[in-house]
């Protein structure tokens, strides 16, 4: 029956050669390659839950009303239609809170999986020719995903997201020469901007940015398929791994359902972004200890760490303070990441094609620099929680910031030196073991 059906379909489509080749496509069998699949499945769930949420969300801040709903703490509060629709979605729509929190958790997992995938790519040298274009596409996807996440939780018009938009507006204004015009173009006027800004965010979040991410994701997968995967074996010319069927397909399906299951469990059991606790946003109000989602914590940390210094000429401010932490710092980080393949080629003179991955110890300087860069960004990320440390532990905020301003430069250097030393010693230990093994073989042959 099945053979007859396949024969009929092949006679009319001629797809048998393509299907046969697809089923024989070899996938990597190392666990670290699954990080990319986790990101893919999180994105699929993001799209699915996002479609459900759009059915109930009202992207309007122009229509304001006084709340007289069932949630008592918000009784009598004036709020926008956007905020009211999310409150109602969370408290009254069937499965609304589950889907909304699953959507939020999926966004966090999506970006976390991309970041961990980037770590693997960097430390194993998978960005080298002929896969440097694949690396650039993936890095661009990460950049767009950060923007998508920021826009997503900013649409809700609660107190926390409103403060985040105020910070974003200040950062946009700080860009030299074009900042004021850019902010006016996006916001439609001085902060909080025109009501049309909410609609712009909505269109960007549910249409423009998802299409861009999906396109980059598809291009990334296409390039991976065309160039095949890298591998830890020592063969530059033979691709090893497991076939698509029956090896990879069941494994990948199992991972997909596991990702979906874990995300739905998180959405149902672990509270995230309870906007009814923050209240609606009003320009004159703020909250102590406001924190963004984790993937933007490093940017808040950079803004906190920078002393109150503006670059001025006479009475004219050329570069306002938010520029240093909000634009220059992320620009340096992503600039290094985008330029690293070219930097490594220039430093090593290595322009060959590479299908075999390095172990981190095989490239001590690359590994050491990568650890130092991660340490630098992580310390800046921790500085973003300085206000929470003050509230929770009573540590003086100004003193804590000065501690971070010192360690953010010292510890990355220490990490670089220590990591390189560890890699060199691991290589030395391997060479010693190889010499011992060679001597043992010679002794055995002599007997």
Q: Quick: pLDDT tens for 69-103.
A: 899 999 999 999 999 999 999 999 999 999 999 99
Place of tokens 């930097």: 343
**Residue 242 scores a pLDDT above 60:** yes
C-alpha–C-alpha distance, residues 85 and 59, integer Å: 9
Q: pLDDT band for 436, please (50, 70, 90 cuts).
A: confident
C-alpha–C-alpha distance, residues 181 and 187, integer Å: 10
C-alpha–C-alpha distance, residues 179 and 173, integer Å: 4
Average pLDDT over residues 372-388: 94
Instruction: Please indicate, yes or no, if residue 294 is contained in any of the structural domains.
Output: no
Helix ranges restricted to H, 34-95 = 34-54, 81-91
Instruction: Tell which of 357, 390, 424 closes a domain.
Output: 357
Is the same domain home to 177 and 89? yes
Longest Cα separation, the chain: 94
Q: How high is the pLDDT of residue 314? A: 85
149, 132, 152, 144: which is closest to 215 by C-alpha?
144
Is the same domain home to 378 and 445? yes
Question: Which CATH number do you get for residue 211?
Answer: 1.20.810.10
C-alpha–C-alpha distance, residues 172 and 320, integer Å: 10
C-alpha–C-alpha distance, residues 188 and 394, integer Å: 41
Is the same domain home to 257 and 405? no
Is the same domain home to 377 and 332? no
Helix, coil or strand: residue 441: helix
The pTM for the full model equals 0.91
**Residue 367 scores a pLDDT above 80:** yes
Is the same domain home to 56 and 202? yes
Is the same domain home to 348 and 423? no
Instruction: Tell which of 300, 334, 357 closes a domain.
Output: 357
Place of tokens 């496509």: 25
Q: pLDDT band for 3, please (50, 70, 90 cuts).
A: low
C-alpha–C-alpha distance, residues 379 and 374, integer Å: 8
Place of tokens 């009573």: 394
Rounded to the nearest 10°, the torsion over CA 156, 186, 213, 223 is -160
**How far, in whole angstroms, is CA 92 from its chain's centroid?**
31
In this structure, are residues 273 and 366 in contact, taking their beta carbons and an 8 Å threshold? no
Domain that holds residue 373: 359-447
Average pLDDT over residues 391-419: 93
What DSSP string runs through 387-422?
Answer: HHHHHHH---HHHHHHHHHHHHHHHHHHHHHHHHHH
Question: What digits encode the pLDDT tens for the residues 147-179?
Answer: 999 999 899 999 999 999 999 999 999 999 899
Instruction: Please indicate, yes or no, if residue 288 is contained in any of the structural domains.
Output: no
β pairing state of 64-66 and 78-80: antiparallel
Is the same domain home to 335 and 369? no
Percent of the chain with pLDDT over 90: 65
Is the same domain home to 149 and 254? yes
Is the same domain home to 373 and 343? no
Is the same domain home to 268 and 399? no
Instruction: Please indicate, yes or no, if residue 47 is contained in any of the structural domains.
Output: yes
- From first CA to last CA, the distance across the chain in angstroms is 66
Instruction: Please indicate, yes or no, if residue 343 is contained in any of the structural domains.
Output: yes
Instruction: Please indicate, yes or no, if residue 7 is contained in any of the structural domains.
Output: no
Is the same domain home to 333 and 434? no
For the record, the structure tokens of 51 come out as 């479609």
Helix, coil or strand: residue 436: helix
Instruction: Please indicate, yes or no, if residue 387 is contained in any of the structural domains.
Output: yes
Instruction: Tell which of 300, 333, 357 closes a domain.
Output: 357
> Which of 28-32, 155-159, 292-296, 322-326 bottoms out in mean pLDDT, i.e. has the lowest?
28-32
Instruction: Please indicate, yes or no, if residue 410 is contained in any of the structural domains.
Output: yes
Instruction: Please indicate, yes or no, if residue 377 is contained in any of the structural domains.
Output: yes
Domain count across the chain? 2
What DSSP string runs through 333-392?
Answer: HHHHHHHHHHHHHHHH---S---BPPPGGGSHHHHHHHHHHHHHHHHHHHHTTHHHHHHH
Is the same domain home to 345 and 390? no
- DSSP conformational letter for 128: S
Higher pLDDT: 441 or 212? It is 212
């Amino acid at each position: 029956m099945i053979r007859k059906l396949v024969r009929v379909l092949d006679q009319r489509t001629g797809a048998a050669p393509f299907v046969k080749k697809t089923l024989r496509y070899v996938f990597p069998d190392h666990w670290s390659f699954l990080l990319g699949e986790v990101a893919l499945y999180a994105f699929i769930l993001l799209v699915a839950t996002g479609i459900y949420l759009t059915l109930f969300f009202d992207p309007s801040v122009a229509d304001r009303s006084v709340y007289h709903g069932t949630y008592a703490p918000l009784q009598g509060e004036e709020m926008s239609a956007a905020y009211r629709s999310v409150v109602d979605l969370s408290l009254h729509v069937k499965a609304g809170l589950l889907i909304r929190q699953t959507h939020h958790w999926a966004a966090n997992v999506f970006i976390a999986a991309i970041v961990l995938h980037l770590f693997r790519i960097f430390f194993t040298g998978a960005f080298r020719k002929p896969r440097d274009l694949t690396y650039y596409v993936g890095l661009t996807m990460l950049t767009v995903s950060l923007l998508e996440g920021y826009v997503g939780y900013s649409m809700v018009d609660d107190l926390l997201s409103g403060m985040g938009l105020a910070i974003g507006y200040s950062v946009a204004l700080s860009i030299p020469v074009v900042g004021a015009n850019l902010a006016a173009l996006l916001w439609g006027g001085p902060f909080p901007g025109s009501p049309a800004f909410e609609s712009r965010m909505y269109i960007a979040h549910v249409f423009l940015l998802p299409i861009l991410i999906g396109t980059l994701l598809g291009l990334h997968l296409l390039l991976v398929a065309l160039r095949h995967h890298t591998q830890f074996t020592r063969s530059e010319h033979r691709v090893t791994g497991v076939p698509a069927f029956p090896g990879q397909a069941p494994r990948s399906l199992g991972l997909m359902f596991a990702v979906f299951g874990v995300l739905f469990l998180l959405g149902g059991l672990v509270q995230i972004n309870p906007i009814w606790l923050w209240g609606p946003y009003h320009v004159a109000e703020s909250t102590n200890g406001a924190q963004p989602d984790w993937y933007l914590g490093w940017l808040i940390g950079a803004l906190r760490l920078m002393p109150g210094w503006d670059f001025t000429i006479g009475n004219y401010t050329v570069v306002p303070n938010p520029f240093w932490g909000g634009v220059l710092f992320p620009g340096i980080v992503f600039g290094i990441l985008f330029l690293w393949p070219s930097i490594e080629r220039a430093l090593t003179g290595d322009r060959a094609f590479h299908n075999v991955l390095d172990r981190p110890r095989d490239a001590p300087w690359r590994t050491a620099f990568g650890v130092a860069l991660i340490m630098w960004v992580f310390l800046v990320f921790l500085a973003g929680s300085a206000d929470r440390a003050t509230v929770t532990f009573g540590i003086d905020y100004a003193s804590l910031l000065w501690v971070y301003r010192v360690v953010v430069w010292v510890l990355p250097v220490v990490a670089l030196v220590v990591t390189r030393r560890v890699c060199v010693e691991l290589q030395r230990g391997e060479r010693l073991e190889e010499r011992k093994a060679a001597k043992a073989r010679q002794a055995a042959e002599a007997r």
